[in-house]
Structures are given as C-alpha cells and as structure tokens.
Amino acid sequence: MSAEVVFNEKNAAPKKKERYIVQTFKRVLKNKLAFIGIIIVSIQIILAIFAPFLTSYGPYEQNLAVTELGIGEEGHILGTDNYGRDMWSRLVYGARISLIVGLSSVALGLIGGLTLGLLAGFYRRIDGFVMRIVDLLFAFPGILLAMLIIAMLGTSLVNVVIAISIWSIPGCARIVRGSVLSIKKQEYILAMKSLGASDIRIMLKHILPNCTAPIIVFATMRMATAILSTSALSFLGLGAQPPTPEWGAMIAAGQDFMWTAPHMSIIPGIAIMLTVFAFNVVGDGLRDALDPNMEIDL
C-alpha cells in the first residue's frame, strides 16, 4: 500500500475479511502438489464439459481406413484404435464418464453414509446396530463387494455407480459418526436444546455443518477410489460395455494390440493414473488446509 492511501480514512477501516472458504482455498494452493492436482482436475472438468468442442471426431466414429494410427499421425493427435476411432475423442468423452460416475457414486455414498453416521452418532440406542451393519460392509474387500452387487444387479454403468456408492457408505458413516459424537458433547448443542430445537433441527442445522471438513476430505479422496474402481470394473467387463469410451474398458480393448498399437492401452492408463493422483493430492491438501490446528499464515 502506498503512503498516500494509508492515511485515507476509508482505507484505515478494517479490511473486509475474506470468507473462510477463500482462505482455505488459498491454503490449498500453497501446497505445490495440491496445486498440480487442482490443475489436473480442472483440466479434466473442462475437457468433460466442452468435449464436443474440443474434438473433431465423434468417440464412436469408425474409419476402417485409418486403424491403429500412432500418436500424431494423419491429424489424429493421439492416434486411432483398431476400428479407426479417434483416441483423443474417446479419451475426452471418457473423462466425462469418469467424472459423472465418480461424482454420482460419491454423492450417493455420502447421502447414505451421512444419514447412517448422523443417526448412529446422535441416538445411542441405534448406534450399536447401525455400526455393526457398517462393520459388516467393511468386512468385504471393496472390489469384491462391488462385484457381488454387480453380479446381483447385472453389468452396466448405472449398477457400477450403485455398487461403488454402497461401498462408500461405511467409510463415510464412520467418519461422520466420530464427528457427531464429539460435537454432540459441546455446550452449544445443549444450549440449542435449551432453546427448544428439535433433534432433526439440531442434527441437520447445527451438527452437520460442523463436520463438513472431514466430509469434504473424504469425498475428494473417495472420488479417486471411485474413478479407479469404475475403470477396474469396466476392465474386468463388469462396468461399461464396448463401445462406450470408458477408460478401463479402453485398456481392456487395447490389450490384444499391445504389440502393434500400445498407445491404445497406455493412453487411457495414463489418464486414469493422473486423475487418481490428482484427486488424492487435492484431498491431502484439503485435509491439511482444513485442519484447525494448522497455523494460518496468509
């Protein structure tokens, strides 16, 4: 600030405080890895939203004249696959599928986990019962649980979303229950009760906002797991079916052409890796930034 404005009375008034969310975001950006992660995630979101404008070929458009083109050949930035479909288009449309499946499964899992966690934490009577169900879900290896659910419901992307969201419930429920248990003992909850607030009001309006930090971190980390699992299930033939441009399915389709056209598998593989990495580091960054014990040095 230059000397002449310092003495201006309007500027001497306390600076308008930044919202907490802005402060948090700034702290996340200070973390270099998280910064890279945010860039990768943002690129993916932009690709997914503007997919039709960023590609010159449709993801399903076959051209048997130009099969298995390498990277950069004949105007295909990332080459073509064995049916002559443009790899770049398929990758970009695949980002769309990954994000939609990831977001919807995490959202569904959060709804289930939040409900169970809130109820279990708030009402001691049902705590034991709910948490044993959660333990039961935990006892299954995640991917096996997902496969079991898909085996019951049939193979499709929608069922993958359902399977992964069920798999997200126990983790979320535990985190929420833990937060609720500690917040419930705070005096301000007793104070709210003394004002005649109902249980539902206290749970949703007063306890839930206090556990947003761990939930945000969980959801971000969970996005990585959800995207990875979707690809894994599709790779195994349990999720997206060909010709859907899903990354896991693309790797599976490219397997037979590893010697002649390795980019068919490697490119979606790199995409999955980068996405999972990005969501994980963003999650880590958020966890550090939302930790109330961290010093604020802005």
Partner 1 sequence: MERLLQVENLVTQYKTAEGMFSAVKGISFTVEKGETVCIVGESGSGKSATALSIMGLLPANGKITEGSIRLKDDELVGKTEEQLQQIRGNEISMIFQEPMTALNPVFTIGFQIREPLMIHLNMSKKEATLVSIELLKKVGIPNPKEKIKQFPHELSGGMRQRVMIAIALACEPSLLIADEPTTALDVTIQSQILDLIDDLKEQMGMGVVFVTHDMGVVAEIADRVMVMYAGEVVEMGDVHRIFNHPQHSYTKGLLAAVPNVDDDSKNWLQGVNIHGKSSASS
How many residues bind partner 1 (CB under 8 A)? The answer is: 18
Binders of partner 1 among 104-143, rule CB under 8 A? 124
The encoded tokens of residue 261 equal 């056209």
Residue in 195, 259, 293, 295 binding partner 1, rule: CB under 8 A: 195
Nearer to partner 1, 115 or 210 (CB): 210
Rule CB under 8 A: say whether 206 interacts with partner 1: yes
Name the CA radius of gyration of the chain, rounded.
24
| Angle between helix 87-122 and 263-290 (nearest 10) | 30
Please state the closest distance from residue 70 (CB atom) to partner 1, in A.
Answer: 55
Beta-bridge partner residues of 80: 86
Q: Is the CB of residue 108 less than 8 Å from the CB of residue 165?
A: yes
The encoded tokens of residue 4 equal 């002449």
Upper half-sphere CA count for residue 7 (Cβ side, 13 Å): 2
Rule CB under 8 A: say whether 22 interacts with partner 1: no
Nearer to partner 1, 175 or 278 (CB): 175
Rule CB under 8 A: say whether 294 interacts with partner 1: no
Rule CB under 8 A: say whether 187 interacts with partner 1: yes
Beta-bridge partner residues of 86: 80
Residue in 22, 136, 153, 190 binding partner 1, rule: CB under 8 A: 190
CA distances (Å), origin 100, targets 35, 43, 123, 248 = 23, 15, 34, 15
Q: Which residue has the tokens 């279990």?
A: 120
| Residue 235 CB neighbour total at 10 angstroms | 22
Nearer to partner 1, 71 or 294 (CB): 294
| Contact stretch for partner 1 (CB under 8 A) within 22-30, 42-50, 95-103, 205-213 | 205-213
CA-based angle 265:268:271, to the nearest 5?
145
CB-based burial label for 184 (10 Å; 0-12, 13-18, 19+): middle
Site pattern 143..182 for partner 1 (x: CB under 8 A): ----------------------------------------
3-class secondary-structure state, position 86: strand
Rule CB under 8 A: say whether 197 interacts with partner 1: yes
| Contact stretch for partner 1 (CB under 8 A) within 44-52, 135-143, 200-208, 281-289 | 200-208
Residue in 39, 136, 191, 270 binding partner 1, rule: CB under 8 A: 191
Nearer to partner 1, 160 or 217 (CB): 217
Please state the closest distance from residue 19 (CB atom) to partner 1, in A.
Answer: 11
The encoded tokens of residue 289 equal 């930034």
Site pattern 207..226 for partner 1 (x: CB under 8 A): --xx----------------
Q: Please report, as ranges, the residues that interact with partner 1 according to CB under 8 A.
A: 124, 186-188, 190-198, 201, 205-206, 209-210
